[in-house]
Amino acid sequence: MNVHDLYKKKLTTAEEIVKQFQSGWVSVSDNALSAPRAIYEAIGKRAEEGNLDRLTMHTFLDVFPVPCYDEKLKDKIFGVCWFAGKAGRAALEGGFADVMYGHYRDCPDIITDFVDIDAFCIMVSPMDKHGYFSTGCSASLSVAMRDKARRIYLEVNKYMPRAVSGPIIHISQVTSLCENHQELLSIPSVESDEVSITIGKLIAEEIPNGATFQLGIGAIPNEVAKALKSKRDLGIHTEMFTDGMLDLLECGAVNNSRKPVHTGRTVATFAYGTRRIYDYIDDNPAIQMLPVDYVNNVELIAQHPNFVSVNAALEVDFLGQISAETIGTRIFSGSGGQVDYVRGSYQSKGGKSFIAFPSTSKNDTISKISSVLKPGSVVTTLKNEVDYIVTEYGIAKMRGSSLSQRTKALISIAHPKFRDELTFEAKKRNIVI
């Protein structure tokens, strides 16, 4: 049977796909934009009608309300968050979801070794003439899931770009597919603010021409990108590809010419932004969307000289321990690839990693620099690996600094209204300052 006949034979509706689901199944999808919206809606509907129960769904950065985090379905569908979005966070707080741990680079191996998958459901671009579908904006976990799953269900969307060097799924591997041509979601826009602009400029000054960089998610990485426009010969090797990075490619600050590997090409494992970047990825050999166990591999990152990574934190203590995923015992997000990039930058010749955040949160009522982390907070990046910490008041160097030097440096970049209190806390702990 040729690939077009196979396509027609396997084509059905999202509702019919979900009718194949049996109670007790485990379903997974890759992160963010690759979660199949019509199939997920049909799962929710079927569970609501009482025809599906004990379904476990694993999610990675949910960017729209997925049924496993819908409280009214909590007795029928159970969610496991690998990186919580808004709905996952609420479900965890409500006590009806679970959380999985792992550095992003290790997640494909965790899937292969420990997750028994009945259904891999994913949004893909339309089939090409050879019978292949591209996973488009999300390459991170798709290969591990494709190879482990008992069944593969596709939601074909003409708005999903074709990533020419990304993971592929052949029509012969597919159990059933449906079509749902729906514009991809865009990341909510983040307003520029004075604090982020200041931090962005401070970090950009530390990035030399010719460096390769990774930027995390949020206002500060966006401002770093804006402040890099006057640089030359930069390279991108990153977890998430963003609009700010595309601006740098378009203005010529990034040309990837000095990358020792993937020279001339941008490397990322997923993309989440606006239509501009989805169009940029489509059929473009200059951007390679590759699995996260490859992209976030510490040795690969370290091969780039002057590698710079920029990520955020929720809280840091005097030791420089970075808490980036919980607020006390409350789970906020996940480890993601923060440590992968901190370690890769650490090992890169001339490399630097920056953990950047505003000095306060909640309208200046909470200092994000504390003597100790809140009880129950997890440490995402260790004191032995943290390099530079940045707020709007400057940069504090941790690597090669003693506890006393770290404490002094951190107090000097804390918000002025908290500096006396922090000094008092340091003295109380007999830290020499």
Distance from C-alpha of 379 to C-alpha of 325, rounded to nearest angstrom: 8
Torsion angle, alpha carbons of 422, 217, 286, 4, to 10: 150
324 binds ligand COA (CB under 6 A): yes
Q: Within 13 Å of residue 354, how many CA atoms lie on the same side as its CB?
A: 27
354's CB contacts (< 8 A; 6+ apart) are 203, 206, 308, 309, 310, 311, 387, 388, 389, 390, 395
Binding pattern to ligand COA, positions 350-379, x when CB under 6 A?
Answer: -----------xx---x-x-----------
Structure tokens at 149: 């799953």
Residue 195 or 281: the one with the smaller Cβ distance to ligand COA is 195
- Can you tell me which of 64, 132, 294, 332 binds ligand COA, judged by CB under 6 A? 332
71 catalytic per annotation: no
Residue 260 to residues 208, 239, 303, 337: CA-CA distances in angstroms? 16, 18, 7, 22
190 binds ligand COA (CB under 6 A): no
Distance from C-alpha of 313 to C-alpha of 390, rounded to nearest angstrom: 10
Per the listing, tokens 């830290």 go with: 431
Q: How far is the CB of 3 from ligand COA (least distance, A)?
A: 36
Q: Choose the stretch contacting ligand COA; rule: CB under 6 A; options: 169-177, 216-224, 287-295, 396-404.
A: 216-224
**Residues between 38 and 97 with contacts to ligand COA, criterion CB under 6 A:** none
387 binds ligand COA (CB under 6 A): no
How many residues bind ligand COA, per CB under 6 A? Answer: 23
218 binds ligand COA (CB under 6 A): yes
**Residues between 284 and 323 with contacts to ligand COA, criterion CB under 6 A:** 311-315
Residue 333 or 407: the one with the smaller Cβ distance to ligand COA is 333
336 binds ligand COA (CB under 6 A): yes
Classify burial at 239, counting beta carbons within 10 Å of its beta carbon; exposed 0-12, middle 13-18, buried 19 or more.
buried
Q: Supply the DSSP symbol for 379.
A: P
**Residues between 137 and 156 with contacts to ligand COA, criterion CB under 6 A:** none
**Residues between 229 and 288 with contacts to ligand COA, criterion CB under 6 A:** 239-240
Q: Measure the N-to-C terminal CA separation of the chain; round to a whole number of Å.
A: 76
Q: Which residue is nearest to ligand COA (CB)?
A: 336
Q: How far is the CB of 362 from ligand COA (least distance, A)?
A: 5
Q: How far is the CB of 217 from ligand COA (least distance, A)?
A: 5
Per the listing, tokens 């993601």 go with: 336
Given the residues 223, 239, 325, 392, the one annotated as active site: 239
- Within 10 angstroms of residue 156's Cβ, the number of other Cβ atoms is 20
Catalytic positions:
239
Which residues of this protein are in contact with ligand COA, per CB under 6 A? Answer: 216-218, 239-240, 311-315, 324-325, 327, 332-333, 335-338, 361-362, 366, 368
